[in-house]
Amino acid sequence: MEFIANRPIFPRNSYLVINGVKINDHNNNGLKFDVEVKSGEEGKVGVGTFKIYNLSQDIEVGSEIELWFGYDSDIGYYSKYEVIKKKKARDGASFVQELTCSERTKNSSKIVSISLDGNVRISEAIKEVTKELGLNLISMDLKKDKVYTNGFTCYSQGFQELKELVGDSESKMTLKGDDLYIYTDKQKNQAIYLTFESGLIHNPEAVEKQEKETKVNKKSDNKKTDSKKDEKWSKEKKKKTVKESNKYDYTVECFPIHYIKKGDIIYVSSDDVSGFMQVEEVNISLNDSWNMKLGVKVMKDDGKHKDNSSKNTKNKKG
């Protein structure tokens, strides 16, 4: 299945739902608000900053914020956030509430107590934990659905327990508010097709593979070693260090698309690069200029990551 991301630039449409109260943006007879949200790297929780102008309601720490955005009538839910810090400020004549938020909600932070006897698969344990937490298990694709022959028992924070279960299955997870997505690297059958006509802003920008001095040959900083060992380190260890330190291959900038999330497979077709890529990180800005930046890894045919994209070719949809 292939999804085409048809994104007109205008009219923009967004709103927040704070503790059940809907707040439209200033383009729709509401309030001005600026949003910066980041998905976080693998295994990390997403964060967000919401600046809301001239809101009479005082937002307290612990409040929950839903983020919705899109274009014209095509608007969709993106995620839910919990306020963990707040501050108030003045911007000219405007009163601003700046809210720092976590994408982990009260539900995912709860302690779960579960005991399952007998042969229990990881998938069964995940379903029980999400049910106990009150999370929505949107999708679950496990690389290895192992069996716990001695059963499964836990008494810990739900989010941490899910991370360990997903890690044990050699898979990955994305938590967007109360929505849980578990995935592997092989999901090309539901790629999102992204072109300049459907929201791509620039040609993907290659991420430079930079070598950090502190990570390379740390043990030998103040030691003298023979030239042969130094040469061996230079050719083998440095190459390995540089390769492993690179988080992703390209940064893809497009207009914000509410259904693109960390873990999704996209097919990018541009002047310089075309191919399947997996989203590793998402940064969204909803302010005066809307944009979405995706940190992506290029995928090989077998689903593994490798930079094998075609240069100076433009793939046309047949």
* Per-residue pLDDT reduced to its tens digit, 227-254: 554 555 455 554 444 444 467 899 999 9
Tell me: the pLDDT tens digits for 38-91?
Answer: 987 766 788 999 999 999 989 999 999 999 999 887 889 999 999 999 999 998
Identify the pLDDT of residue 207: 86
Give the integer Cα–Cα distance in Å for 277 and 249: 9
Tell me: the pLDDT tens digits for 261-314?
Answer: 888 889 999 998 899 999 999 999 999 889 999 999 998 764 444 443 333 333
* Tokens 């937002």, residue located: 59
Residue 32 pLDDT > 70, yes or no?
Answer: yes
For the record, the structure tokens of 311 come out as 């240069």
The answer to whether 119 and 147 have CB atoms below 8 angstroms apart is yes
* Tokens 């960390």, residue located: 262
**Backbone dihedral angles phi then psi of residue 108, each to the nearest 5 degrees:** -75, -15
Task: Please give the mean pLDDT across all residues of the chain.
Answer: 81
Per-residue 3-state assignment (H helix, E strand, C coil) for 151-217: CEEEEEEHHHHHHHHHHHCCCEEEEEECEEEEECCCCHHHEEEECHHHCECCCCEECCCCCCHHHCC
| Bridge-based pairing state of the strands 172-176 and 191-194 | unpaired
Write down the H helix ranges in 73-177: 106-109, 122-133, 158-168
Buried b vs exposed e over 230-250: b needs ≥16 C-beta within 10 Å? eeebeeeeeeebeeeeeebbb
